[in-house]
Each structure stands twice: as C-alpha cells, then as structure tokens.
Amino acid sequence: MDETPDSVIIELQRLVGEAQRGVQALYEAELKVAQLEQDFDTAHAHAIISSTGTAAERAAQATLATAALKFELQVGKAELNRVKTKLRSIESAQVATSVIAKQVELLWRHA
C-alpha cells in the first residue's frame, strides 16, 4: 500500500461526504416507509370495513385487496435497511481509513 497523507485526507473527506448524503438518504427512506405504512394501514382498514362475510372472510378479502400496498411497504423497508447497512459500511470505512492515517503519519514521521 502506497498511501500518502494527501490521499488519506482525500479519502476521509470523500467518506465524510458520503456519510452526509447517507444521513439525508436515511431520512428520506424513513419518511417513505412511514407514508407507505400509513397508506397500507388506511387501505387495509377500509378494505375490512367494506368487506362482507365472517370476520375471517373479511380479513382475507382485505389482505387480498391490499397485497400490492403491503409489497410496496416491504420494498420500502428493504430500501431503508439497505441505507442503514450502507451507512454502517461507510462508518467502518472511516474507522479503517483513520487507522491507515495513523500508520501513514507514523511512516512519514520516521522516514
């Protein structure tokens, strides 16, 4: 590995920028999931109310009627989890780059 202080600083700056964008992406993903949950819950409740039959039949009809919304909600949750995973990955890269920075500092001091 042929790291210089400048290359380490540039990498740390890049990671900080990514982390900042990740925070915004996390916020947007959380808002999306909240909206999807509200849409699903509302549609499911309306579907139960407008259904006929026994309680089990009404629940089944509502589940069928809102399956697409539930799928959208699950996809939204998966996207949120991906953003969280990406942020954890960025944090790990920042830590690793900080360790490299310390090593580079020691190498350059004693060179």
Low-confidence ranges of the chain (pLDDT < 50): 1
Give the CA count within 13 Å in the CB-facing half-sphere of 44. Answer: 15
User: What pLDDT is recorded for position 9?
Assistant: 86
Annotated domain spans of the chain: 5-109
User: What pLDDT is recorded for position 40?
Assistant: 98
Amino acid letter, 42: T
User: What pLDDT is recorded for position 78?
Assistant: 98
User: What pLDDT is recorded for position 110?
Assistant: 78
User: What pLDDT is recorded for position 62?
Assistant: 97
In SS3 terms, 24-50 reads as: HHHHHHHHHHHHHHHHHHHHHHHHHHH
Give 59-75 pLDDT, tens digit per residue: 999 999 999 999 999 99
User: What pLDDT is recorded for position 107?
Assistant: 82
Cα of 95 vs its chain's centroid, Å: 20
Dist CA 63 CA 48 (whole Å): 9
User: What pLDDT is recorded for position 5?
Assistant: 81
